[in-house]
Amino acid sequence: MSQSSPRRLPRGRHALSRSEVERVHRDRLCVAMAAAMTEKGYVGTSVEDVLRRARVSRQSFYGLFSSKLDCFMAAFDKASALLWYQLEGAAEGGGTPMARFERAFTAYLEALASEPGYARLFLVEVYAAGPEAIQRRSEIQHDLAEALAEMMGLSGEAAAFACQIVVSAVGAMVTPAVAAGDMEALRAVGPPVIDHVRLLLASGALDG
């Protein structure tokens, strides 16, 4: 995940296309949304807060988004895409299913810890944003459970349900640390979860 500020547009005339200008503005607004909510939370964050951090005009904002929620959903999707990129990279390569899980889970925790603004948006403020955001979060959890089952070489309804439980449990465990901004506590979730998944796999509890 990367929440570093996207580059600003050059002053005066430039050769950037309209689509490139919009992309730069969208990226800056997504980063600004995450930064504003780290300080004020979703409810306390206004469009003006986002504009001030992004240094983007109100006209440009409403040319891209219909509302604060619309901008939030774009930032949420960006955080999700960046997270998937990190997970997919870590899960690639050889090794046992457990080795792949350990790499992917460690990368997941590090991605959250390295970008606390996007992590808070993804795990905490999503619930304050309302039903649409919560539904999107639920869909991502379902996708993560499917990816976990595939990575571990598991199939069948029982395995799918077991992976859903693991993903839900992990979410419940990491969210308080992210909400508190305690990245050491977040990283500390890693070893016990990895050990427990190893035991579940060895016992056959994750098998379909």
Residue 13 neighbours by CB under 8 Å, 6+ apart: none
Q: What is the pLDDT of residue 3?
A: 46
Q: What is the pLDDT of residue 96?
A: 87
Q: What is the pLDDT of residue 208?
A: 56
Among the ranges given (22-31, 68-77, 90-99), the one the predictor scored with the smallest mean pLDDT: 90-99
Of the two residues 94 and 64, the one the predictor is more confident about is 64
The one-letter code for the residue type at 16 is L
Q: What is the pTM of this model?
A: 0.84
Q: How far apart are CA 126 and CA 150, in angstroms?
A: 27
Token readout for 21 is 């200008």
Average pLDDT over every residue of 182-190:
95
Evaluate if residue 11 carries a pLDDT over 60: no
Among the ranges given (15-19, 74-78, 127-131, 166-170), the one the predictor scored with the smallest mean pLDDT: 15-19
Token readout for 176 is 């308080």
Closest by CA to 83, choosing from 35, 154, 141, is 141
